[in-house]
């Protein structure tokens, strides 16, 4: 059943169209997007699909293939309400109402094949798809960056996650066979070619099935530590700080503030080096940078968990050129740069390692950069 068929079977009339937006994986540049830094995400072939139609009242209704219709009045939406998938759809409608005067309710249908809670930005995909749909139906003519910024506001003002802008920009701006380089201080961006085929290399992503929850305060705590360090070091954004600045203010920074800032400073340098290598078609050389990113996230930023570390370590010990966790941390997915011929073996070795540790069975898949948000019909 397509999302339009789901819409029709639920509400009894045809929607004016269907829109979709992809999840994302981040090649490198973690916890740098809310500090004005550099990131290099790419869109995935998993997508959230939306069918939508405006209503004459202020009721918002939404349905998925697995969940019957849920509804809420537009003026009842606020921080923390509603929860679940309805929070993203109703939250998008509420932000559009407040920011752009879209003063009515909506009927929505949602289909998504993006793994939930895996750190692959299922929420950004949903909100971007909804806002793209509403922008076209309501003739708002929002730009791709405006849609991304509006989707970010849903996370901040309704869901309660103080996320950066990377996920939403990747979902909107992704292109096939391109890694998206973003300077999050001004949203300037560049498409960087991904030549995996010419090097017989691919990206292996493993969903570790470990808990991945960002709205419970852990993500916000890390962001606060970065903001505190920014103020103590006395720079406009943490991306402007250097390791020399960090050493100079060592006595004023708490150990947690110092280690979080060190991760951000070194991660930005790794992103810039990765971009340079890819532009020079030296893709195999980015492997050590990916691994160094993971070590920094594990030791300085302290956002990995045992399942994530096991997946990374197993990939590296079985031939991966580099590996790291992706997403906000505290669970979720890993990414490994592997030879195409090794992908299946490494995936199996990770599964065996998880079984030996009595962890949930992971799911692995190969990935390559895909297209961003679009109208499908």
Cα angle vertex 169, ends 95, 370, to 5°?
125
Cα distance between residue 31 and residue 39, in whole Å: 9
CA distances from 38 to 112, 162, 191 (A): 28, 18, 13
Residue 296 structure tokens:
């920094």
Residue 213 structure tokens:
């929850």
Residue 12 structure tokens:
């009894």
- Is there a catalytic annotation at residue 167? yes
Half-sphere exposure of 92 (CA within 13 A, CB side): 30
Give backbone dihedrals phi and psi of 256, rounded to 5 degrees, phi first. Answer: -70, -40
b/e sequence 229-260, b meaning 16+ C-beta within 10 Å: bbebbebebbbbbeeebbeebeeebeebbbbb
* Active-site residue, selected from the candidate residues 33, 107, 167, 342: 167
Active site residues: 167
């Amino acid at each position: 059943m397509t999302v339009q068929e789901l819409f029709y079977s639920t509400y009894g009339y045809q929607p004016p169209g269907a829109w979709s937006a992809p999840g994302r994986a981040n090649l490198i540049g973690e916890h740098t997007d809310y500090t004005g830094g550099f990131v290099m995400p790419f869109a995935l072939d998993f997508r959230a699909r939306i069918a939508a139609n405006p209503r004459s009242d202020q009721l918002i209704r939404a349905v998925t293939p697995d969940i019957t219709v849920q509804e809420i009045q537009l003026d009842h939406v606020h921080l923390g309400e509603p929860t679940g998938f309805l929070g993203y759809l109703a939250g998008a409608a509420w932000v559009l109402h407040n920011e752009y005067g879209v003063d009515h309710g909506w009927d929505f249908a949602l289909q998504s094949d993006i793994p939930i809670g895996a750190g692959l930005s299922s929420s950004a995909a949903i909100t971007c798809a909804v806002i793209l749909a509403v922008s076209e139906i309501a003739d708002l003519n929002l730009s791709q960056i405006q849609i991304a910024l509006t989707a970010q506001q849903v996370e901040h003002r309704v869901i309660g996650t103080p996320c950066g802008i990377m996920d939403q920009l990747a979902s909107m701006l992704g292109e096939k066979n391109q890694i998206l380089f973003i300077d999050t201080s001004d949203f300037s961006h560049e498409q960087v070619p991904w030549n995996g085929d010419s090097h017989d290399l691919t990206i292996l992503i493993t969903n570790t099935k470990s808990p991945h929850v960002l709205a419970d305060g852990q993500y916000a705590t890390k962001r606060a530590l970065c903001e505190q360090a920014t103020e103590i070091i006395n720079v406009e954004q943490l991306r402007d700080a250097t390791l020399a600045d960090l050493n100079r203010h060592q006595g004023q920074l708490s150990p947690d503030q110092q280690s979080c800032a060190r991760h951000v400073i070194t991660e930005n340098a790794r992103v810039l080096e990765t971009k340079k290598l890819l532009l020079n078609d030296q893709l195999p050389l980015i492997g050590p940078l990916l691994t160094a990113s993971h070590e920094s996230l594990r030791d300085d930023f302290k956002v990995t968990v045992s399942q994530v570390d096991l997946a990374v370590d197993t990939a590296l010990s079985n031939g991966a050129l580099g590996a790291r966790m992706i997403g906000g941390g505290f669970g979720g997915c890993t990414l490994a740069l592997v030879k195409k011929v090794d992908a299946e073996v490494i995936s199996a070795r990770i599964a065996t390692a998880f079984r030996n540790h009595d962890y949930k069975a992971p799911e692995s898949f190969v990935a390559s950069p895909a297209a961003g948000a679009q109208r499908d019909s």
